[in-house]
Amino acid sequence: MSVTSSVSTTVPAIVHSHLDAARVTDLVSSQPKHWRRIRIFKQDGGTTVTLMSDSTQSVVVKRHKLAHWRRRADALIHGSPARRAWRGAQLLQTHGFPVPQPLAVVEKRRAGLVQESVYISQALPYPSLSDYWRESASRWSVVRRRLFLRELALFVRSFHAAGLYSGDLRDANLLVEECEAQHGPRWRFCLVDLDRLKHCPSLTLRRRVKNLVQLDRTLGRRTRRTERLFFLDAYLGPPLPPSKQRRSLLKTLLSVRRRKDREYARRKRRRAPSVASAQTPGAPVLGPSLGVVPRRPISCCIVCLNEEHAIRRCLESVKWCDEIVVVDSFSTDKTIEICQEYSAHIIQRAWPGYVEQKRFALAQASHEWILNIDADEEVSPLLQNEIQVVLQQDDPAVDGFYIPRLVHYLGRWWWHGWYPSYRLRLFRKHKVRWGGVDPHEKVLLHGRSEHLSGNFHHYTYTDISDHLRTVNSLTDISSRELMLRQRRKYLSDVLLRPLWRFLRFYFFRGCIRDGIPGLFVAATSAFYVFLKYAKLWEQASDAAQSSSRNTSHDTPVTDPAR
């Protein structure tokens, strides 16, 4: 049945329908009356997806609000999103692919332009691919995991062989139906995002690659590298194309994926301030029809020594954490007294080096999520809000987050030179280990990471004298570590490395925009590198001279009378 009505500025126009008009009107009304259960699945970017159920059936209502002129123009040229979804459902049915039964298309127009577009379809009782794989794959054997990936690869292969292309083929838009067959389990896949579906008699390689990268960026986060290669082989053959062609395709896929990762990271950083600022610090996130979402507990780890001038600011910024672990190296000032005010778990331990002390502090934490922070740093309000959201979402596919560090020095914030200096500071405890070389320790993550946009505030040096004393101390440690690693001395290290550091900071990182202070920061950064390798040169020369003296003393003297 197809019903068409005239355009009206107030009454919705039912463009297509397999339901009676009263039921359609009830579904698209702001307060539906005859549905016992209403649940919002998605609500962002002007699109809302709602599940409605009563005693007889369950339907999905996808509502598009075309508030932006670009979306209205696109609807004028290509048809509204609901019309396109209706055509997409018919296209899949024509080619023999399962699809949720389309029920109705409703549009609201003003002055001939679509203001709101609603697509109504049957609700299928199957989980999305993302939920199904996350909940089931961890219990499966390797054989069953590969069997499932082979079925998925064959579905995508037949999808492309039919000349079909989806603008958003990711795991959240595929439903999975598990069927038990005579020779083992089988799976059917159903695409539910239909408004971006197209039919191309000759599907280009670019579009095939785009769909494969979309699946790889979502489902691939939860699969091993060998399984992703197995999926690609199952998609390509048999018969498999020549090895040179396969390597070329793999290189293209990796390149597109890296580009997409960078693009989405930039989008996330741009969106994060507005999302995080909308949250009150420490307040729970309210999900649609879900109420208050509890967050995961978190431990904060701090190592310190004589930090009474900075530790209070640091502890004040992390007092919302469920546990604060402080490892102190026998401070002689008021550091311990200040830490005790914040109910911190305080452990005193002699200083074994940056890497060992951080490793010890991590072992004392009791929660899965860890926030690592230095005593001269603080968590900004924006970063705190972002971390709260991360803990509430607790995405199992993400194991760590890189956080930018903003330095305060010489009475200003340094947005050039040292910024953003991303550090992996928020992570799952069982997914990391401490590595690096003193004094530049680092967290080694075994898993997937993302970036946050909120900053650590780093109050690094009190003045220029403190800066130079710190440079002298850190270069002593760095040069000794290089000696222990048997790093050879090279004249290029003393001449070229400092020059490159100065050029990188002053020109490429923008210190030139900060005038004389920027020149000073670039110069001291170059001096740090020069001093480190100069001390290495000195220690290597002293070691060589000492070795030669010991050799000469140990050489036996021949008696001329013998």
Which burial class, exposed, middle or buried, applies to 282 when counting CB atoms under 10 A from its CB (0-12, 13-18, 19+)? exposed
- Measured distance CA(228)–CA(501) in Å, rounded: 40
Model pLDDT, residue 277 = 44
For residue 556, tell me if it sits in a domain: no
Q: Are residues 264 and 320 in the same domain?
A: no
Tokens standing for 477? 């440690």
Claim to verify: residue 208 and residue 225 sit in the same structural domain: yes
Question: DSSP letter string over 289-301?
Answer: TTEEEPPPPEEEE
Reduced 3-state DSSP string for 234-288:
HHHCCCCCCHHHHHHHHHHHHHHHHHHHHHHHHHHHHHHHHHHHCCCCCCCEEEC
pLDDT of residue 426: 95
User: Does 554 map to a domain?
Assistant: no
Is residue 518 a part of any domain in this protein?
A: yes
Task: Write down which residue in 458, 484, 510 finishes a domain.
Answer: 458
Residue 4 lies in a domain: no
Phi-psi region of 484 (alpha: psi -120 to 50; beta: other; left: phi over 0): alpha
Distance CA 293, CA 4 (A): 43
pLDDT digits (tens, 9 = 90+) for 217-254: 888 777 888 888 899 999 998 888 898 898 899 899 98
Q: Does the pLDDT of residue 437 top 50, yes or no?
A: yes
- The pLDDT of residue 361 is above 60: yes
Structural domain count of the chain? 4
- Reference 123, options 22, 17, 15, 41; nearest CA is 41
Cα gap 546→331, rounded to integer Å: 37
Lowest mean pLDDT among 178-192, 258-272, 350-364, 401-415: 258-272
445 and 471 belong to one structural domain: no
Residue 562: inside a domain, yes or no?
Answer: no
Cβ neighbours around 513 below 10 Å, total: 11
Share of the chain above pLDDT 90, in %: 30
Scan for tokens 């490793």, then name that residue.
359
Can you tell me the mean pLDDT for 516-535? 83
Examine the domain organization and report whether 179 and 249 are in the same domain. yes
Whether 314 and 395 share a structural domain: yes
Same domain, 411 and 381: yes
Question: Phi-psi bin for 205: left (phi > 0), alpha (psi -120 to 50), beta?
Answer: alpha
Q: Do 192 and 302 belong together in one domain?
A: no
pLDDT of residue 419: 83
Tell me what pLDDT residue 8 has: 39
CATH number at residue 197: 1.10.510.10
In a domain, 72, yes or no: yes
Question: What is the domain-level CATH number for residue 87?
Answer: 3.30.200.20
Q: Which residues pair with 370 in a beta bridge?
A: 299, 427
Lowest mean per-residue pLDDT among 76-90, 151-165, 271-285, 365-379:
271-285
Q: Are residues 424 and 375 in the same domain?
A: yes
Give residue 269's pLDDT. 57
pLDDT tens across 65-114, in order? 887 778 888 888 888 999 999 999 999 999 999 999 999 999 988 877 88
The three state secondary structure string of 470-502 is HHHHHHHHHHHHHHHCCCCCCHHHHHHHHHHHH
Q: Could you tell me which residue, 41 or 147, shows the higher pLDDT?
A: 147
Cα–Cα dist 475/533, whole Å: 8
* 20 and 65 within one domain: yes
Within a domain: residue 313? yes
Residues 238 and 291 both lie in one domain: no
Q: Which residue has the tokens 């340094």?
A: 414
For residues 531-556, give the mean pLDDT. Answer: 72
Cβ distance 327 to 361 under 8 Å?
Answer: yes
Q: Give the pLDDT score at 78.
A: 85
- The model carries a pTM of 0.54
pLDDT at 324: 94
Instruction: Assess whether 250 and 177 both reside in one domain.
Output: yes
Residue 475, pLDDT above cutoff 70: yes
Residue that terminates a domain, selected from 216, 248, 275: 275
Residue 303: band (very low, low, confident or very high) from pLDDT cuts 50, 70, 90? very high
The mean pLDDT of the chain is 82
Contacts of residue 219, Cβ cutoff 8 Å, sequence gap at least 6: 129, 130, 133, 152, 170, 171
Tokens of 544: 């060589």
> Residue 78's domain spans which residues?
13-122
Which of 122, 146, 168 is the C-terminal boundary of a domain?
A: 122
**89 and 104 both lie in a single domain:** yes
* 555 found inside a domain: no
Share of the chain above pLDDT 70, in %: 87
Residue 395 has pLDDT above 50, yes or no: yes
